[in-house]
Structure 1
Amino acid sequence: MTSTSLRRALGRALCTTPILLVTSLAVAQEQKQTSAGAPLEEVIVTGSAIRRVEAEASLPVQVLDSQAIQRTGAASVVDLMQRLPTIQGATVESDAVGAATFGFSGVSVHNIGENRTLVLLNGRRMAQFGGQTLTGFAAAVDLNSIPVSAIQRVEILTSGASALYGSDAVAGVVNFITKDKTMDRDVSARYYAPEDGAQERGVSLSAGIGDYENSGWNLFVAIAGDKREELNSADRDFADSAIVNFDYGGQRWTFFNGSPRNIPANAVATTGNLAGETVSLGYLSSGSCPEGSAPVGAACYYDYVRNIQLYPERERKNANASLNIKLGEAHNLFVDALWSEAKSLSKIAPVPGELGVDVGSALYNQYLAGVVDDAGTPLFGPVDADGDGVIDPIVAPYRTFDLGQRINDDEARFYHAAIGIEGDLRGWNYDFALTQSESDVKGHIAGYPGALAFDAALASGAIDPFVGPGQQTEAGLAALNAINYRGYWDGGTSRMQTAELRASTDLFDLPNGKPVMFAAGLSHYREKFQSKPSQFAQANLDDPVAGTPAAGGPGTGDQRFGDAAASIPYGADRNVTGVFTEINVQPLEWLELSGAGRYDDYSDVGSTTNYKVSFRVTPAQQFLIRGSYGTGFHAPTVPQLNASLQNYGVTANPYDCTPDLAAIASSLGAICRPPQTQYDVFAGGNPDLTPEESEQAMLGMVFEFSREASVGLDYWWVGIKDAFGQIEETEAFANPATYPDAWTTFTDIGTGTTYIAYNQTNINTGKEYYSGIDLNADASWQLPFGKLRTQLVATYMITDKEQLTKDGPYYRNIANYSTPLDEVTFRWVGRLLTTLDHGPFSHTITMNYKSSYLDVETTVDGIDANGDFNGEVADVRLDVDDYFTLDWQSSWQITDWVRLTVGALNLFNEDPPLSLTASNFQIGYDARYYDPRGRVLFGQVSFKF
């Protein structure tokens, strides 16, 4: 089962089997088989406001009920969404390691964007994540806030721009529907056990009281909690080092993505034949580097991957309640409430940064004064590069190893409450609700000193940067501990208040007896966002540890060592009023037509009118053809419009100073960083940012061979103009002269040196196009020993191309790591699920597949059999293998009230395929696309009472 040939064969089988998009058809089929002759309940299906008998509609909706969710083996909503083939490109939990995501996890339909995918709870909007950034990152709903144990079903509208919910649903809609009006009572405990880290345990309790039909009321409450341990890079052989040795083209190569900020410190030569280059004093004297680093030129680069996590430690708690009270026979008063708290603790290597060693100081005289090149010329002679009459300090890239790992301790709290009334009034079915929703995020840090505080400790002589780990004196360790900031760093709050009214009715009957169905609605919501950087983050403190205010006033105090940034608080709000109408007619027995229009007025970006039309043709009872076309409108977030330009961290990758970059730096009165060094990043809002406008189209078919088998597909297409985003850093550094507005300057307060910095401010980048085919096949057989059911679901991507500038070239990333886009879209993603139910037992096998792609182009060095450099250098692009895993799950209904489930995710312990991507801190595989846990054994026991 683990051989390459078998994996590829199964992958091809998964990708070439014709399948049906809409899983709800299979659900409807089972209802017909088990409830023949019983009337079907009228419901609202996501994507339409018209109540109708549940069946295949003109828009594709994937439905996962609670049983289907359980059979995925997913421990959370985050895990569930990442297992679906229609979902690509969302932020995953491993991104929290080093990327300052505050633990956010999102959902992106078809890789079109998580901020273009509308996430709903019971058909109502929720507040966006309070930790969203000024570039638009995480401007979406955090899936950690939604408890999987309370979900009755998930509906995924894979055709965007819904008139019902909003024209901003460009990629689609994901609607989580919670349990209500039930007296079910259940307590469950589960445990997930990967090898060596990431163990997870959870418990949930749910109970309903009150017979809604007979007593006229029902209260359903569910509470849950889970906790996962950390997974460290040292626990996985494929990801335990920034040094990656591999075979390619019949030769042995090595890739190294280390950091020049090492311990002992390197130093940047100012004179001699190595002037401008980073060198290691130890390497110059001995020709070798200390443990934990490797030679790059004459420097020793730190292997930071040895000291990071692959998965952060995480803890979640949540509770939700649903109260329903009958008001007469035709009306219902409802109250829905959700509260959640998610905590994430992520760790990366000790903080790096640049020190300034003054010429003539004790450190200079001890370590640097006598160092010469091959010609006997001093390497660290006095230089006044800016001509101000002051000798520049020697820049020493350093790693503060003795402070321990950098820690981000993040907390995200969310609450959502809706109160309303629904029912029938004079032939109209109506729903009115008021909603209050809030996401509050707080990020705490440890392992970071202030830059000025570190400089002062260095000047005092207490700290020696040229000694190895653990070799500081007691006075040096005490000095480091005294400047180690532990406390609140940054966060934000996002709020949304909504009032909405929806109503539908049958206007009249056509001559053929079919009703003309009509719906209309009105909504208003107020959206607020406020960033909340700490006083330290705002540079308002002279002593961050003691909390001493800056004597020079706000913005003049100390800043964080290594990535000094004076954050500027920003906040804004907007009001949005919308109105929609929808009509559905069936002029012929085999033809159904629908049309919807929506008008939205944004208080900050103006108004827009959008529409969607669709059709449904059934030439035979077993055959359906459907299609739709619509337009959409996606406004920038309030931070994208209003935030001030400010420091936004550092680049994901290190870069060399090209002649073009050096010329731009000189024109700005700055210099480049030393070779293979990360650069500072700035970003800000743009009040002139134009909203995105989109067009969507879909054409599909469904064929039902019998009540037990169906097959079909849906082709979809999305076009977006005036897309907003930022120039990807890899493209900007590869072609700096092409993007003259992408550069600014940064002055290191520790050394006083002014460097060129990357300006990643929001812009309208141009046009984007996406298309693909969603496929699904479903079949079941009644066998003598039980019922066998197989379902195959997959997405085949045809187009994913984007412009980085208006009228610029298009970049494509399907099955190809496009460096300008810094991402990959998989050509094929699929799941083949087979379930056998017999008596009290149920067994499920799931095959998961992601197709191969061409990796990022990377410069590597040749090595011999002993691992020594052989002098060869090459640019390579690996073929990242297709990835196939198999999951197993078995359940035993021991009694009517006890159920036991055991299983394994990634049963054959497949490692992620090799990739040389350095998009985040993890090296050796691409953590955005693959799970590093390996085989995960799990068990769950549930009791009904």
Structure 2
Amino acid sequence: MVEGWQARSLASGTVHGPYSGGFGMITNNGSCLSRATRLALTVITAVVAISASAVHAQDSGQHELQEVVITGTAIRRIEGETSLPVQVLDAQAIQRTGAASVVDLIQRLPMVQGGTAESASIGGSTYGFAGVSVHNIGENRTLVLLNGRRMAQFGGQTLTGFGAAFDLNAIPVAAIERVEILTEGASALYGSDAIAGVVNFITKKRTLDRDISVHYYGPQDGGAERGVSIAGGIGDYVNDGWNLFISVGADKRSELNSRDRDFARSAIINLDKAGARWTFFNGSPRNIPANVVADNGLLADQMVSLDVLAGRACPQGSAPVDLACYYDYVRNIQLYPERERKTGVASLSFKLSDEHSLFVDALWSEAKQTSKIAPVPGELLITAGSALFNRYLAPVRDVEGNPAFVGDIVAPYRAFDLGQRINEDEADFYHVAVGLEGQMLGWDYDLAVTQSRSDVKGNISGYPGALAFARVLDSGVINPFIGPGQQSPAGQAALASINYRGYWDGGESKMQSAQWQVSRALFDLPNGRPVSLAFGLNYFKEKFQSKPSNFAQANLEDPVAGTPAVGGLHMGDQRFGDAAAAVPYGADRKVKGAFAEVLLDPFRWLELTGSIRYDDYSDVGDTTNYKASFRLRPLNHLLVRGSYGTGFHAPTVPQLKASLQSYGVTSNPYDCGAELRAIALSMGAVCRPPRTQYDVFSGGNPALQPEESENVSLGVIFEATPQISIGADYWWVGIKHAFGQLPEAAAFAAPSRYPGIWTTFTDIATATTYVAFNKTNINTGKERYAGIDFNLQGRWDTKLGKLSSQLIATNMLTNKLQLTEGGPYYKNIADYSSELDSVTFRWAGRLLASLDHGAWSHTVTGNFRTGYRDVLTTVDGINADGTFNGETLDVRLKVKSYYTFDWQSTWKPMGWMEVTVGALNLFDKDPPRSLTTANFQIGYDARYYDPRGRVLFGRISFRF
């Protein structure tokens, strides 16, 4: 067994560990029966109110004995008396992972797939959000709790439901006592959002320990992180009747740029396939110097570069695509953003009497993130007869002598001299819970009220207004047909004068709640075992408000000066390149709920649990959900457990009530085929140039139905020998009326298949109306997920010291989704789905081995993810000199399985000092090659792999 990953006793709930505060084999006063459960990381009640646990150590010969009691579940009990799969990671195990933050800790766990990585902020409006998705079922279906209580969702969530979950950046790792991860649905206790599972962070409290810790993580060439934390408690709760624990911390990480990693520094990837040389290029047609779209002669409707037409090579930083030069934007982006976080945690416990106590829990955080991408792209209008037109376009002829340009011309352009686009995001969060707990009239009770808020602000620079850009272009001081840095002083000054720097968009999410629950043993069965009951009530109110700036709402005539628009609201300038006015939206909802749970042991070898919950939502109606579970012990060395339950997930307030509005641009560039061209024509619009991103719109849908789910689990835990235990839990989740949006890849692959997904967008800079993708919220149909979680653990005493090991792994068996009600299912396990634009790993796992001897402790960790077939991609044939030969090939790369190894050693020369050194990705393995364009980063899939390479780290802690 690996220290810190706790297993629970089936009967006694005690844990015998070979290390102080550690993780060890389980015993039940020598009974083989309880040792069989050493793999059962935890089992909890069917309602699964996971919450803070108090750990009491006792002396047991050469081993230290720990008794772990769950204090916040619906029915108070010794932790080993329950029947559902929970994995528990304590403070020592957290340290042994080498994780610098809660984000790193959670997102690297094998059972976690599909969460938003920090790298997603590069080119995406994520505001730095990082979430957790258990079993790839979804972040907004995985409930995150702090000390067993709900918190406000992320204030930067969007009207599509992205970010409608808790942001892991808000929790400091130094304040965590333990993390409990329930890997199956729990709506019968928590209501909505718990379809996939629950992650409960339990903070330290009622402790007198004090420490200060400093850490440094150093990748090569960027991405270095440093931080400090101070934590400690005052007041002896037992003797003084009170205790206050406070933890404060800060950390800062530098940026990691694409140019610092060979595998991700360019949008051009060359490869050998089928005995020939091929190239993949995900460039942008918005180049510098500008491309232009011809409107006459043999070149009509083609996008061309004046350099290519003149027989010159494409400028540095771009590459030829047909007759145009496409910009290699990857050369100017980050792989990891710059980030700075500050956090504070406080926990006050005050004994009112021997049976009653008051508690106050508080969390505060401030996260700032700076992400940078390539200079802003957009379309310019070169007016016929203007000086630019007459100088650069009028002389151009095709091979038959026809003028290529006769009217006003659209010029896709990259405003390089404005510098990189920079997003500076700030996410502020606080959560406060005040309550009473204790015993009254034979009942254990818990009463609490909470309030939390997430406030997100996004600031930008490097973005001009579209009309402002058109004005300086018409003034003649800007020349889009020259290279970077070649503008005249007047041109540079004009660009600087329209460069908007300031607040752009944001949002605020609030939650207020009150909850009360009681539990007790009602009576004993004839076999002497109690029948226990718990029930409770809860109420919460959540509110969300989007906060777009006046610039984002098109309320300003001059965004830089802040001058109001002459024509009124939404009639002013809009952002160059993705110009569309944002519309503020906001709403609130109230939820009332009640639950009950019963637990009984009709036989010595059988435990049964049943629970039921009723919820009434002010905006989507009411729902009743239930769960039943069992725990069976047919043999002393064997445990069988299982459950069946139902679940419920309500749409977010914005998903129901937001108005239709701009939602940025597509993640990938697309060509316009015959189907889409016909749709555009029918709407009075035109297509974008080849290989171009399209505008996206989205909005709320009042007719959106809540999701309903069923979940099943069946697990076996077997003790093979006194040193080795083996466990496996099968799980299945089925969802109907799933809500979301049609993936863009599916829409552009079959434009006529899905009615109502197309709309129009008019670029105010060029007065051109383009066809656009309508990504509105819909009920997409059914989803099915299934898999097996494995857990193998062992411990041995050796001549070198105490050796412990653990293998945790998840095998995904089913991951299939419909995109429309009644439509076909799309699968993506080990096979990248173009329709879903994602892949699910068949296997993900982690093998840890720790050796403790004297003052030293060493840990080696192996992490693995199996490979898959990459996205279907068309590549172009190239000659030996790099020129195109006119051939194309559809390819699907085999993305290799990925293995990395971590190491760390800890030295405790004295009781008040601890020094740790180590390395993540010890052998500096690059991410496997992928041709996906789902991210701004190219060359690997940034959603699944860490680009930092080898990271050397050190940590020193002092206790005082």
Question: How does the TM-score come out when normalised to structure 1?
Answer: 0.95
3-state DSSP class of the match of 2:468? helix
Equivalent in the alignment of 2:12: none
Equivalent in the alignment of 1:99: 124
Whether the 8 Å CA contact 1:440–1:492 is kept in 2: the answer is yes
Alignment of 1:213-224 (within 5 A): 213-224=238-249
Equivalent in the alignment of 1:490: 505
Matching of residue 588 in structure 1 with residue 603 in structure 2: yes
Matching of residue 355 in structure 1 with residue 355 in structure 2: no
Whether the 8 Å CA contact 2:56–2:67 is kept in 1: the answer is no
Alignment of 1:590-629 (within 5 A): 590-629=605-644
3-state DSSP class of the match of 2:82? coil
1:782 Cα offset (Å): 1.2
1:36 Cα offset (Å): 7.8
3-state DSSP class of the match of 1:778? strand
Equivalent in the alignment of 1:365: 390
What is the alpha-carbon distance in structure 1 between the residues aligned to residue 276 and residue 849 of structure 2?
42
What is the alpha-carbon distance in structure 2 between the residues aligned to residue 368 and residue 176 of structure 1?
63
What is the alpha-carbon distance in structure 2 between the residues aligned to residue 103 and residue 787 of structure 1?
41
Equivalent in the alignment of 1:577: 592
What is the alpha-carbon distance in structure 2 between the residues aligned to residue 34 and residue 736 of structure 1?
72
Which residue of 62, 76, 90 corresponds with 2:101? 76
Q: Which amino acid aligns with 1:821?
A: L
Whether the 8 Å CA contact 2:383–2:409 is kept in 1: the answer is yes
Which residue of 440, 443, 456 corresponds with 1:441? 456
Alignment of 1:528-567 (within 5 A): 528-567=543-582
Deviation track 1:144-202 (CA, whole Å, cap 9, x = no partner) reads 00110000000000011342222430000000000000000000000000000000000
> May I ask how many residue pairs the two structures share in their alignment?
916
1:743 Cα offset (Å): 0.2
3-state DSSP class of the match of 2:331? helix
3-state DSSP class of the match of 1:78? helix
Deviation track 1:372-426 (CA, whole Å, cap 9, x = no partner) reads 11111111123xxxxxxxxxx2000000000000000000000000000001111
What is the alpha-carbon distance in structure 2 between the residues aligned to residue 253 and residue 185 of structure 1?
60
1:246 Cα offset (Å): 1.7
Q: Structure 1: where are the runs of 5+ without partners?
A: 1-17, 383-392
Q: Which amino acid aligns with 2:242?
A: W
What is the alpha-carbon distance in structure 2 between the residues aligned to residue 892 and residue 94 of structure 1?
33
Whether the 8 Å CA contact 1:886–1:906 is kept in 2: the answer is yes
Q: Which amino acid aligns with 1:173?
A: V
Whether the 8 Å CA contact 1:440–1:494 is kept in 2: the answer is yes
What is the alpha-carbon distance in structure 2 between the residues aligned to residue 399 and residue 532 of structure 1?
29
3-state DSSP class of the match of 2:123? helix
Deviation track 1:805-864 (CA, whole Å, cap 9, x = no partner) reads 011000001001101111111000000000000000000000000000010000001223
Q: Which amino acid aligns with 2:759?
A: T
Moved more, 567-576 or 669-678: 669-678
Q: Which amino acid aligns with 2:307?
A: G
1:31 Cα offset (Å): 8.4
3-state DSSP class of the match of 1:67? helix
Whether the 8 Å CA contact 1:50–1:519 is kept in 2: the answer is yes
Q: Which amino acid aligns with 1:490?
A: D
Matching of residue 40 in structure 1 with residue 67 in structure 2: yes
Whether the 8 Å CA contact 1:260–1:676 is kept in 2: the answer is yes
Matching of residue 260 in structure 1 with residue 285 in structure 2: yes
Q: Which amino acid aligns with 1:558?
A: D
Distance change (3 Å), C-alpha of 1:19 and 1:251: farther
What is the alpha-carbon distance in structure 1 between the residues aligned to residue 531 and residue 814 of structure 2?
38
Q: Which amino acid aligns with 2:41?
A: T
Alignment of 1:718-733 (within 5 A): 718-733=733-748
Q: Which amino acid aligns with 2:170?
A: S
Equivalent in the alignment of 1:7: none
Which residue of 456, 463, 487 corresponds with 2:478? 463
Whether the 8 Å CA contact 1:21–1:60 is kept in 2: the answer is no
Whether the 8 Å CA contact 1:20–1:777 is kept in 2: the answer is no
Moved more, 782-791 or 565-574: 782-791
Deviation track 1:302-331 (CA, whole Å, cap 9, x = no partner) reads 000000000000000000100001111111
Equivalent in the alignment of 2:370: 345
Q: Which amino acid aligns with 1:568?
A: V
Matching of residue 243 in structure 1 with residue 268 in structure 2: yes
What is the alpha-carbon distance in structure 1 between the residues aligned to residue 347 and residue 723 of structure 2?
36
1:708 Cα offset (Å): 3.1
Equivalent in the alignment of 1:23: 41
Which residue of 663, 679, 682 corresponds with 1:667? 682
3-state DSSP class of the match of 1:517? strand
1:44 Cα offset (Å): 3.9
Whether the 8 Å CA contact 1:902–1:938 is kept in 2: the answer is yes
Distance change (3 Å), C-alpha of 1:864 and 1:38: closer
Matching of residue 632 in structure 1 with residue 650 in structure 2: no
3-state DSSP class of the match of 1:273? helix
What is the alpha-carbon distance in structure 2 between the residues aligned to residue 117 and residue 769 of structure 1?
16
Equivalent in the alignment of 1:515: 530
Which residue of 224, 244, 254 corresponds with 1:199? 224
Whether the 8 Å CA contact 1:121–1:177 is kept in 2: the answer is yes
What is the alpha-carbon distance in structure 2 between the residues aligned to residue 802 and residue 818 of structure 1?
11
Whether the 8 Å CA contact 1:29–1:707 is kept in 2: the answer is no
Equivalent in the alignment of 2:143: 118
Which residue of 205, 218, 221 corresponds with 1:180? 205
3-state DSSP class of the match of 1:596? strand
Equivalent in the alignment of 1:386: none
Whether the 8 Å CA contact 1:19–1:776 is kept in 2: the answer is no
Alignment of 1:164-175 (within 5 A): 164-175=189-200
Deviation track 1:588-644 (CA, whole Å, cap 9, x = no partner) reads 000000000000000000000000000000112221100000000100000000100
What is the alpha-carbon distance in structure 1 between the residues aligned to residue 251 and residue 637 of structure 2?
45
Equivalent in the alignment of 2:47: none
Equivalent in the alignment of 1:292: 317
1:32 Cα offset (Å): 9.9
Give percent identity, aligned residues only.
67
Distance change (3 Å), C-alpha of 1:709 and 1:434: same
1:784 Cα offset (Å): 2.5
Whether the 8 Å CA contact 2:37–2:717 is kept in 1: the answer is no
Q: Which amino acid aligns with 1:776?
A: N
Distance change (3 Å), C-alpha of 1:420 and 1:869: same
Matching of residue 317 in structure 1 with residue 342 in structure 2: yes
3-state DSSP class of the match of 1:872? strand
Whether the 8 Å CA contact 2:56–2:68 is kept in 1: the answer is no
Which residue of 229, 236, 249 corresponds with 2:254? 229
Which residue of 873, 889, 896 corresponds with 1:858? 873
What is the alpha-carbon distance in structure 2 between the residues aligned to residue 826 and residue 244 of structure 1?
24
Question: How does the TM-score come out when normalised to structure 2?
Answer: 0.94
Matching of residue 60 in structure 1 with residue 75 in structure 2: no
Whether the 8 Å CA contact 2:37–2:719 is kept in 1: the answer is no
Distance change (3 Å), C-alpha of 1:483 and 1:93: same
Matching of residue 748 in structure 1 with residue 741 in structure 2: no
Deviation track 1:721-764 (CA, whole Å, cap 9, x = no partner) reads 00001010011001000012000000000000000000000000
Whether the 8 Å CA contact 1:314–1:343 is kept in 2: the answer is yes
Distance change (3 Å), C-alpha of 1:822 and 1:19: farther
Which residue of 902, 911, 935 corresponds with 2:917? 902
What is the alpha-carbon distance in structure 2 between the residues aligned to residue 779 and residue 897 of structure 1?
30
Whether the 8 Å CA contact 1:262–1:399 is kept in 2: the answer is yes
Distance change (3 Å), C-alpha of 1:162 and 1:740: closer
Whether the 8 Å CA contact 2:439–2:445 is kept in 1: the answer is yes
Q: Which amino acid aligns with 1:675?
A: P
Moved more, 239-248 or 335-344: 239-248
What is the alpha-carbon distance in structure 1 between the residues aligned to residue 65 and residue 503 of structure 2?
59
3-state DSSP class of the match of 2:299? coil
Deviation track 1:530-580 (CA, whole Å, cap 9, x = no partner) reads 000000000000000000000100000000000002000000000001000
What is the alpha-carbon distance in structure 2 between the residues aligned to residue 36 and residue 934 of structure 1?
39
Whether the 8 Å CA contact 1:536–1:558 is kept in 2: the answer is yes
1:38 Cα offset (Å): 6.7
Distance change (3 Å), C-alpha of 1:780 and 1:30: farther
What is the alpha-carbon distance in structure 2 between the residues aligned to residue 931 and residue 37 of structure 1?
38
What is the alpha-carbon distance in structure 1 between the residues aligned to residue 37 and residue 772 of structure 2?
50
What is the alpha-carbon distance in structure 1 between the residues aligned to residue 58 and residue 817 of structure 2?
43
